Amino acid sequence: MTFILVIEQILNGLQFGIMLFLMAAGLTLIFGVMGLINLAHGSLYMVGAFAAAAVAGLTGSFGLSLIAALAASALAGVIVETVVIRRLYNKDHLDQVLATFALILIFSEGTRWVFGSFPLFLEIPEYLSGPVSLPGGIQYPLYRLALIFAGLLVAAGLMLLIAKTRIGIQIRAGENDREMIAALGVDINKLYTLIFALGAALAGLAGALVGAIQSVQMGMGEPVLILAFVVIVIGGIGSIKGALIGSILVGLTDTLGSVFLPQLFGLFMDTAAATNIGSSLASMAIYILMGVVLIWRPTGLFGARG
C-alpha cells in the first residue's frame, strides 16, 4: 500500500463522484421543484450516450458528439415532459413510479429497435487519451482528469445559475411554494419543461462522457440511477450543493471501500475470506453511509423539507 496508490484511488473516487453529480443534479432539481420521482432519468443518460456514439461514428468528432448528446437528451426530455410527465404532477408517487418505469421499458426497446442489440463503440478522442504524469510520480489517465474538471465546471455553472439568475430565483421559488409563484405570473408549465430539459441534458452529457470509457449499451442508465437516488437522499432533496457533496461522498466511499476494505480484513484473516467479506461489505458501504446520514440528519445533509 503506497501513498501513490492512495492518491490515485482518491482521484478515482472523485471522478466517479463528479460524474454521479451530473446525474444527481437533474434528478434532485426535478424531484425538488416538481415533486416528481423520475425513474426514466437513467434512460436519458442512455439517450445521451447513444446519440454521442452515433454522431461520433458518423463524424469522428468528439466535440460534436457531446453537443449531439446534450441536444438529443434535452429534446427527449422536452418530449417526455410535455407528453407524459406533465400529467403526473398532481398524481401520487406510485403513479409517477409506474409511468416513468414504463418509460424505461419504452426507451430501452426503442433504442434496441433503432441501434440493435449489440453495444456501440464510443472512443476517447486522441488528444485526451493516455496517461499523464502528476507530481509525485502518479500516472493518471488524462481523460479522467478532464472529467473531474468538466464536472466541476458544470457544478459551478449550475450553482451560479441557481444563485444569481432570474431562472434560478424562479426555480428556488418553485421549490418553496408552487402555487405562489404561479400566482405571481410565472409560467409554471414553461418553467417545469425547462428544468426537465436541463436535467435531461445533464444526464445525457454524463452518459456521453462516461460512455467513452465504459460501454454504450441498453440498460446502462439504471445502475447509475440507483446511485443517483442514494446521492440525492444523502444530499437532501432539491439541493444542488447537497447533490455535489453527496455524490463526492458516495464516489469516495464506493471507490475507497472496494479497494481498502478487503485489505483491512486481510490484516487478520486469510486472503480468500478477506476478499470475499471485504467486497461484500464494500458493496454495502454507500447504503450504510446513507443510513448513517439519515439517522444524523433525517432530511439529508442540505435538505430543507421534512
Partner 1 sequence: MNKQIQALTAVMLAATAFGFGTVQAETKVGMITTLSGGGAGLGIDVRDGFMLAIKQSGRDDVEVVIEDDQRKPDIAVQLADKMIQSEKVDVLTGIIWSNLAMAVIPSTTAQGKFYLSPNAGPSALAGKGCHPNYFNVAWQNDNLHEAAGAYANSAGYKNSFILAPNYPAGKDALTGYKRFFKGELAGELYTKLGQNDYAAEIAQIRASGADSVFFFLPAGMGIAFLKQYKDSGVDIPVVGPAFSFDQGILQAVGDAALGVVNTSQWNKDIDNATNKAFVESFQAEYDRLPSLYASQGFDTANLLLSAIDKADVKDADAFRAALKSADFASTRGEFKFGNNHHPVQTIYAREVVKEGDVYTNKLLSVALENHADAYAVECGM
Q: Which residues bind partner 1 (CB under 8 A)?
A: 2, 4-5, 8-9, 12-13, 15-16, 108-109, 112, 117-121, 123-124, 129-131, 139, 141, 143-144, 210, 212-220, 223, 255, 258-259, 262, 271-272, 275-276, 279-280, 283
Q: How far is the CB of 7 from partner 1 (least distance, A)?
A: 10
Which parts of 84-177 fold into alpha helices (H)?
93-115, 142-164, 166-176
* Beta carbon nearer to partner 1, 193 or 275: 275
Q: How far is the CB of 1 from partner 1 (least distance, A)?
A: 8
Q: How far is the CB of 219 from partner 1 (least distance, A)?
A: 4
Q: How far is the CB of 18 from partner 1 (least distance, A)?
A: 12
Burial of 84-103, coded b for 16+ CB within 10 Å and e otherwise, reads ebbebeeeeeeebeebbeeb
Q: How far is the CB of 138 from partner 1 (least distance, A)?
A: 10
Largest separation between any pair of C-alpha atoms in the chain: 67
Grid coordinates standing for 62? 468528439
DSSP 139: E
CA–CA dist 101, 18 (Å, integer)? 26
Burial of 141-164, coded b for 16+ CB within 10 Å and e otherwise, reads bebbbbbbebbeebbeebeeebee
* Beta carbon nearer to partner 1, 31 or 143: 143
* Beta carbon nearer to partner 1, 42 or 238: 42
Which parts of the chain fold into alpha helices (H)?
3-34, 41-59, 62-83, 93-115, 142-164, 166-176, 178-183, 188-211, 221-235, 240-266, 271-296
* Beta carbon nearer to partner 1, 188 or 210: 210
Contacts for 94 with CB less than 8 Å, ≥ 6 apart: none
* Beta carbon nearer to partner 1, 112 or 172: 112
- Residue 203: CB atoms within 10 Å: 36
Q: How far is the CB of 70 from partner 1 (least distance, A)?
A: 21
End-to-end CA distance of the chain: 43
* Beta carbon nearer to partner 1, 154 or 285: 285
Q: How far is the CB of 213 from partner 1 (least distance, A)?
A: 5
Nearest by Cα to 216 from 115, 129, 284, 113: 115
